[in-house]
């Protein structure tokens, strides 16, 4: 059974803390994505990676960075957490080297982050 796992389901942090969210997939997928989901705004892409050590900015990268040292693991880093980063964070992965070969996108269970 294919699986995308995220390190925490719920997380509470203080303003200014450095926060690490980890995502692991066991499907040998090339592409991995980080989204945030907010009521009324839907899912918005923060960063994505199409290969190890490669990363591309999504639509809302400000305040975030990412790391992909191994194919199966994609980490999202909040350099200095702020209250407006309180959100549901979702990780996803898909196979395919180019867009026309992309397959299903699989999601993790999400991390509900609260920044106080």
Partner 1 sequence: KQEVTQIPAALSVPEGENLVLNCSFTDSAIYNLQWFRQDPGKGLTSLLLIQSSQREQTSGRLNASLDKSSGRSTLYIAASQPGDSATYLCAVLGAYKYIFGTGTRLKVLA
Which residues form the interface with partner 1 (CB under 8 A)? 4, 31, 33, 40-43, 45, 48, 50, 56, 58-59, 88, 90, 92, 99-100, 102-110, 112
Nearer to partner 1, 11 or 88 (CB): 88
Q: What is the DSSP string of 15-74?
A: TT--EEEEEEESS--SEEEEEEEETTTEEEEEEEESSTT--EE-S--TTEEEEEEETTEE
Minimum gap (Å) between residue 71 Cβ and partner 1: 17
Nearer to partner 1, 63 or 102 (CB): 102
Nearer to partner 1, 17 or 52 (CB): 52
CB-side exposure of 7: number of CA atoms within 13 Å? 12
């Amino acid at each position: 059974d294919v699986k995308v796992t995220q390190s925490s389901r719920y997380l509470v942090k203080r303003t200014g803390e450095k926060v690490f969210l980890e995502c692991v997939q066991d499907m040998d997928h090339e592409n991995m994505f980080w989204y945030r989901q907010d009521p009324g705004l839907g899912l918005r892409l923060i960063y994505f990676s199409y290969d190890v050590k490669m990363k591309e900015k999504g639509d809302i990268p400000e305040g975030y960075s990412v790391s992909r040292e191994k194919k199966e693991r994609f980490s999202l880093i909040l350099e200095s957490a702020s209250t407006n980063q309180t959100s549901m964070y979702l990780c996803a992965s898909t196979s395919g080297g180019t867009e026309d070969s992309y397959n299903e996108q699989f999601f993790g269970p999400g991390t509900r982050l609260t920044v106080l």
